[in-house]
């Protein structure tokens, strides 16, 4: 297969569990045409709709039968079975990342978490629409066995259960782990990726999509104007330091108590910043609200920055010294890619300022360009944490667009094989 990157081939895709749109943004940048996306949270879907459906960067031709609003796969299957079946032969790719909380190695792994079973709905959609290709993204734990609680042999990783079901539907399945930092993302985010090719379209038995993807890596970085080295955190967010900008009241409301950065554009941006700022001129990105920390919290953050090793999670002794029970606290190392972002903004502290990151700083670390607006409220808590997807959660859950793009380009190459 040629490693030349072809953005002119416009395959049609559906994005399931789309979130705010990281994967779709990447696929669109790779030349794919969106049909529709499925996302159950209203805030995440509003962000998606604002940027990728209604905005000037839209690449969707939304079907008339489907409202442009939040929904679930289950609702789609129940309401529109005939319309979905009619899409057979018209959709090249079904992509998506089912919710992963029950599989995550960073949290409490729970094989009975009901969100784990959403992969079954993904498979039902694949069976109904029968696309040429499938793409499934998830956390590393998706491919790890759950420990047995009865002393019996550990259960088969759920990824292998999904693989078998997709093979039964006629797909050749390939899977591997990809680290975002290898593809220009300033973040050591490793994810499990599964690619399926309908066997009737699979003409080259020696083809492995992941081999082709890695072969394309250098040319991809060059096409983005990025170096063939890891992008550092400070390359991504150093222009967003409070000391390098000005502060203004958020939404112009002094009573709210929140402030935001009044952005001052850089005259000599580095390669990564140039990519993120493309087309923005001197315009400020959104989601620059600074967290409103209590004085005692700022003192605690300064102590953490003083005693920690940047980029390394605090030890038990350090947590005891600080007086916190929080398990995962890490200060960013400005000279390295970030640790994996999570949906909890206080998991990572800024490398030089005593605060958590802004939503925009997280978006930069995920490789969202500055024109991509993040919408909705900033945070949520309590029982709503599992029911809502505010800005920090949207960004933390997203597929880095640069990763989505190189996967999309790889699939373009496969699609050219006769």
- pLDDT, tens only, 128-147: 999 999 999 998 777 766 55
Confidence of residue 201 (pLDDT cuts 50, 70, 90): confident
pLDDT classification of 5: cutoffs 50, 70, 90: low
**What CATH code is assigned to 233-397?**
3.90.120
pLDDT digits 0-9 by tens, 116-132:
567 888 999 999 999 99
| Residue tagged active-site, from 100, 179, 308, 389 | 100
Return the pLDDT at 107: 46
Q: Does residue 168 surpass a pLDDT of 90?
A: yes
CA distances from 115 to 102, 120, 189, 305 (A): 7, 10, 21, 36
Give residue 2's pLDDT band: very low, low, confident or very high (50, 70, 90).
Answer: very low
Q: What is the 3-state secondary structure (H, E, C) of 189-214?
A: CEEEEEEEEEHHHCCCCCCCHHHHHH
| Short-list 169, 179, 112, 79, CA closest to 139 | 179
Q: How confident is the model at residue 42 (pLDDT cuts 50, 70, 90)?
A: very high
How does residue 383 score in pLDDT terms, banded at 50, 70 and 90?
low
Measure the CA angle with vertex 303, ends 301 and 309; round to 5°: 95
- Which residue would you say has higher pLDDT here, 287 or 252? 287
Residue 398 has pLDDT above 90, yes or no: yes
Pick the more confident residue, 331 or 158.
Answer: 331
Assess contact for 60 and 36: CB atoms under 8 A. yes
Query: Is 95:134 a contact under the CB 8 Å cutoff?
Result: yes
Average pLDDT on 333-359 reads 95
Instruction: Categorize the per-residue pLDDT at 103 as very low, low, confident or very high, splitting at 50, 70 and 90.
Output: very low
The Cα-based distances of 114 to 21, 102, 147, 156, 384 in angstroms read 23, 8, 18, 18, 17
pLDDT averaged over the chain?
A: 88
pLDDT at 289 over 50: yes
At residue 142, the pLDDT reads: 77
Residue 36 CA, chain-centre distance (Å), reads 18
- Mean pLDDT confidence for 362-376: 98
pLDDT 10s digits, 50-64: 999 998 999 999 999
Q: Among the ranges 113-122, 160-169, 215-224, which has the highest mean pLDDT value?
A: 215-224
Say if residues 349 and 355 touch (Cβ distance below 8 Å): yes
Q: Is 100 a catalytic residue?
A: yes
pLDDT at residue 67, as a whole number:
96
Cα angle for residues 386, 391, 392 (degrees, 5° grid) = 75
Is pLDDT at 406 greater than 90 in this prediction? yes
What does the pLDDT read at residue 109?
A: 41
Whole-angstrom distance, CA of residue 197 vs CA of residue 132? 6
Q: Would you kindly state where each structural domain of the chain is located, as residue ranges?
A: 12-228+400-415, 233-397
pLDDT band at 334 (very low <50, low <70, confident <90, very high): very high
Above pLDDT 90, what percent of the chain? Answer: 69
The pTM (predicted TM-score) of the whole model is 0.90
For residue 153, the model assigns a pLDDT of 55
Tell me the CB-side half-sphere exposure of residue 157, using CA atoms within 13 A. Answer: 15
Class of domain 12-228+400-415 (CATH, top level) = alpha beta
């Amino acid at each position: 297969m040629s490693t030349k990157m072809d953005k002119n081939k416009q395959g049609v895709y559906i994005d399931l569990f789309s979130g705010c749109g990281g994967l779709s943004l990447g696929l669109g940048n790779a030349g794919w045409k969106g049909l529709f996306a499925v996302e159950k949270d209203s805030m995440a879907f509003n962000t998606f709709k604002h940027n990728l459906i209604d905005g000037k960067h839209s690449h969707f031709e939304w079907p008339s039968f489907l409202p442009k609003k939040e929904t679930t796969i289950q609702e789609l299957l129940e309401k529109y079975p005939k319309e979905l079946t009619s899409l057979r032969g018209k959709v090249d790719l079904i992509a998506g990342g089912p919710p992963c909380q029950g599989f995550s190695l960073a949290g409490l792994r729970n094989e009975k978490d009901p969100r784990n079973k959403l992969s079954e709905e993904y498979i039902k959609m694949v069976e109904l629409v029968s696309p040429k290709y499938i793409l499934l993204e998830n956390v590393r734990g998706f491919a790890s066995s759950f420990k047995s609680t009865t002393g019996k042999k550990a259960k088969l990783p759920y990824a292998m259960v999904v693989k078998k079901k997709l093979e039964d539907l006629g797909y050749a399945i390939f899977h591997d782990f990809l680290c975002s930092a290898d593809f220009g993302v300033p973040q050591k985010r490793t994810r499990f990726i599964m690619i399926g090719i309908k066997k009737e379209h699979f003409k080259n038995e020696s083809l492995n999509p992941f081999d082709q993807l890695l072969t394309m890596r250098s040319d991809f970085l060059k096409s983005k104007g990025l170096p063939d080295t890891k992008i550092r955190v400070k390359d991504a967010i150093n222009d967003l330091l409070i000391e390098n900008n000005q502060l203004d009241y958020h939404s112009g409301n002094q009573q709210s108590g929140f402030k935001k950065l009044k952005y001052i554009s850089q005259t000599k941006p580095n390669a990564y910043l140039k990519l993120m700022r493309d087309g923005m001129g001197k315009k400020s990105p959104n989601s620059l609200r600074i967290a409103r920390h209590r004085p005692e919290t700022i003192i605690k953050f300064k102590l953490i920055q003083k005693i920690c090793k940047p980029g390394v999670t605090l030890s038990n002794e350090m947590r005891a010294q600080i007086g916190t029970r929080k398990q995962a606290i890490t200060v960013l190392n400005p000279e390295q890619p970030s640790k994996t972002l999570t949906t909890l903004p206080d998991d990572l502290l800024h490398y030089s300022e005593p605060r958590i990151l802004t939503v925009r700083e997280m978006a930069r670390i995920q490789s969202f360009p500055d024109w991509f607006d993040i919408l909705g409220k900033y945070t949520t808590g309590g029982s709503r944490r599992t029911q809502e997807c505010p800005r920090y959660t949207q960004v933390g859950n997203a597929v880095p667009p640069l990763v989505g793009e190189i996967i999309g380009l790889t699939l373009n190459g496969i699609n050219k094989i006769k």
